[in-house]
Amino acid sequence: MNSFAGPIGTAAPVIADKAPMIDPFGRAVTYLRVSVTDRCDFRCTYCMAEHMTFLPKKDLLTLEELNRLCSAFIAKGVRKIRLTGGEPLVRKNIMFLVRELGAHVHAGRLDELTLTTNGSQLARYADELYDCGVRRINVSLDTLDPARFKAVTRWGEFGKVMEGIEAAQKAGLKIKLNAVALKDFNEFEIADMLRFAHGRGMDLTVIETMPMGEIDEDRTDRYLPLSKLRADLEEQFTLTEIPYKTGGPARYVEVKETGGRLGFITPMTHNFCESCNRVRLTCTGTLYMCLGQNDAADLRTALRASESDDYLSAAIDEAITRKPKGHDFIIDRQHNRPAVARHMSVTGG
């Protein structure tokens, strides 16, 4: 049973491993993304089919098990954890895990605990997230038009997300908005979204759509290279490259007219793998060493094999030796099947 912990989580002290995780290409793995559930209260058209088959609940790791896995990664040098999904805030009792992981931030063992959310539950959880040590979050928002919002999320409510953003800012959380750039959908709205975000002290990052999992439409129709979007934006804005980094794959520019930052995540047109510092854990305990590859390691068996973390630590080490150099997404009409069969909601983006 997952129980709600006290005001500061009770996470056991972590014994730091002597050897940090270095992959075969010399990259240190310091960032863990955890998909805490594959379920979601939205059905974004580029992410999921409307009638998705989700994992049976019995296959999910408990929140205690996820906490133990995360702690093992912290002991091995992970400094940043992002909770994602599916929608992380729809997992029952999720604040238990947030509080436990927040204790590592309070203790200086973790530099950052953050999450990526669709914003639907933020009004409810914003204060508690801040209280647990979360300081920055990413909110996914693809449009400012309520009707278009409904069209892309199918089940989402625009007003609720706006309330969530407001509550999060009021609670003191710094927000970055993430928008998937979609041809003939929001490509001409990005300029307005930029003004909206920057006018409220939020960064904005645009993302290319990636070929992951079967959906109900053809992604080729919606694929928009960010090089094109950037050229369009440059007709209205002065964009200057800046070295700003958040530990993620975005490359940032400063927008002179708004004074804010705009990030580009370009998995399709630009390979961002050379500086990859992260691995991805699913809610069943599968570790993916690359978002765009199928190779994975089963950590659940190692986790359950023993109460000591020795097996687990060895299984993590073995997985890191298999971290590939990079991915090679292709999106065109000749390749009309997803490059990776699993949906983004499994590995969490």
344 forms part of the interface with ligand SAM (CB under 6 A): yes
Residue carrying structure tokens 């400063």: 254
Nearer to ligand SF4, 102 or 349 (CB): 349
198 binds, among ligand SAM, ligand SF4, none (CB under 5 to 8 A by kind): none
Give least dist CB 156 to ligand SF4, A.
7
Partner touching 178 among ligand SAM, ligand SF4, none, CB below 5 to 8 Å by kind? ligand SAM
Residue whose structure tokens are 């992604």: 219
> Is residue 210 close enough to count as binding ligand SAM by CB under 6 A?
yes
Give 207 or 224: the residue with its C-beta nearer to ligand SAM: 207
Q: Using CB under 6 A, which of the segments 57-65, 68-76, 98-106, 113-121 binds ligand SAM? A: 113-121
**Among residues 5, 30, 45, 46, which is the contact residue for ligand SAM, using CB under 6 A?**
46
Using rule CB under 6 A, residue 40 touches ligand SAM? yes
Nearer to ligand SF4, 61 or 115 (CB): 115
Number of residues in contact with ligand SAM under rule CB under 6 A: 20
Name which of 186 and 345 has its Cβ closer to ligand SAM.
345
Helix H, strand E, coil C: the string for the chain is CCCCCCCCCCCCCCCCCCCCCECCCCCECCEEEEECCCCCCCCCCCCCCCCCCCCCHHHCCCHHHHHHHHHHHHHCCCCEEEEECCCHHHCCCHHHHHHHHHHHHHCCCCCEEEEEECCCCHHHHHHHHHHCCCCEEEEECCCCCHHHHHHHHCCCCHHHHHHHHHHHHHHCCEEEEEEEEECCCCCCCHHHHHHHHHHCCCEEEEEECCCECCCCCCHHHCECCHHHHHHHHCCCCCEEEECCCCCCCCEEEEECCCCCEEEEECCCCCCCHHHCCEEEECCCCEEECCCCCCCEEEHHHHHHHCCCCHHHHHHHHHHHCCCCCCCCCCCCCCCCCCCECCCHHHHCC
Give the residue with the Cβ less far from ligand SAM, 85 or 263: 85
* Distance of closest approach, residue 47 Cβ to ligand SAM, in angstroms: 4
Q: Which stretch binds ligand SAM (CB under 6 A): 95-103, 208-216, 222-230, 310-318?
A: 208-216
Residues in contact with ligand SF4 by CB under 6 A are 40, 42-44, 47-48, 85-87, 118, 140, 345
Closest distance between ligand SF4 and the C-beta of residue 306, in Å?
A: 33
Complex with ligand SAM: residue 106 or 174, whichever CB lies closer: 174
230/239 Cα distance (integer angstroms): 9
Contact residues: ligand SAM, CB under 6 A? 40, 46-47, 84-85, 87, 116-118, 140, 178, 180, 207, 209-210, 212, 344-345, 348-349
